[in-house]
Chain A
Amino acid sequence: NAGVTQTPKFRVLKTGQSMTLLCAQDMNHEYMYWYRQDPGMGLRLIHYSVGEGTTAKGEVPDGYNVSRLKKQNFLLGLESAAPSQTSVYFCASNNRGEQYFGPGTRLTVT
């Protein structure tokens, strides 16, 4: 039981490049979330999903897109990366209780 996994762990992008962050969970959770963590800002919700095939916007969705084609996977896409998207990204899942977090992806946009 791996819990929540994220790939990649680190990535450096140039402004304007695109990438996809993958989150996978093996706990059969319905609910999945993408957060970004910046110094002094705490955790901010980007997008979330309440089940396979559904997605919704969170607090800071601009510049990001998501997809939940399979229940166990939640993908976060950056179509045209900007330096303001330099951050640590965390995926989480829950089954109506506490959140289970992945180890994070550290993204730098130059």
Chain B
Amino acid sequence: AQSVAQPEDQVNVAEGNPLTVKCTYSVSGNPYLFWYVQYPNRGLQFLLKYITGDNLVKGSYGFEAEFNKSQTSFHLKKPSALVSDSALYFCAVRDDASGGSYIPTFGRGTSLIVHP
């Protein structure tokens, strides 16, 4: 079984400050982890993924995420937030033991608001 939790419905940060959007997961096997961003009235866009290898993953638009196996977390980070980063962010997990349908489980989303 696979599940993912995004404990914050909303994160507020001032422009120029670092940001963190939290994600924790649960899987039976090994996790494949993903972050997506959704701007208003748009589909979800892929930001980055962790499959294996380095725990720090770099992605689009200056975002990065850190995989922490002991804490079962995959938090999204950015050193300096921009107003244009304001959007809805989704974490997703897929268990490598889940079979051949390649279906990820999505979190409920975290609304990031960057204040000027």
**Interface on A for B, CB 8 Å cutoff?**
4, 31, 33, 40-43, 45, 48, 50, 56, 58, 90, 92, 94, 96-104
Contacts and interface: CB of A to CB of B under 8 A. Distances in A.
A76 to B, nearest CB: 15
Contacts of B101: 31, 48, 50, 56
15 contacts: A31-B102, A33-B103, A41-B108, A42-B90, A42-B109, A43-B106, A90-B43, A90-B44, A96-B102, A98-B49, A99-B46, A99-B92, A99-B104, A101-B43, A103-B43
For the complex of A and B, 8 pairs with smallest distance between CB atoms: A101-B43, A42-B108, A101-B44, A98-B46, A43-B106, A103-B43, A31-B102, A104-B43
A98 B102 contact: no
A99 B101 CA distance: 12
A23 B29 CA distance: 32
Query: From DSSP, what is the main secondary structure of chain A's interface residues?
Result: strand
Count chain A CB atoms within 10 A of each CB in B36, B100, B102 and give the residue with the most: B102
Contact of A103 (B42, B90, B103, B106): B42
Nearest to B35: A98
A43 B108 CA distance: 7
A80 to B, nearest CB: 27
A79 to B, nearest CB: 24
A84 B91 CA distance: 26
A50 B92 CA distance: 19
Interface in B70-116: 90, 92, 100-104, 106-109
Contacts of A42: 90, 106-109
A45 B36 CA distance: 16
Contacts of A103: 42-43
A40 B45 contact: no
A99 B108 contact: no
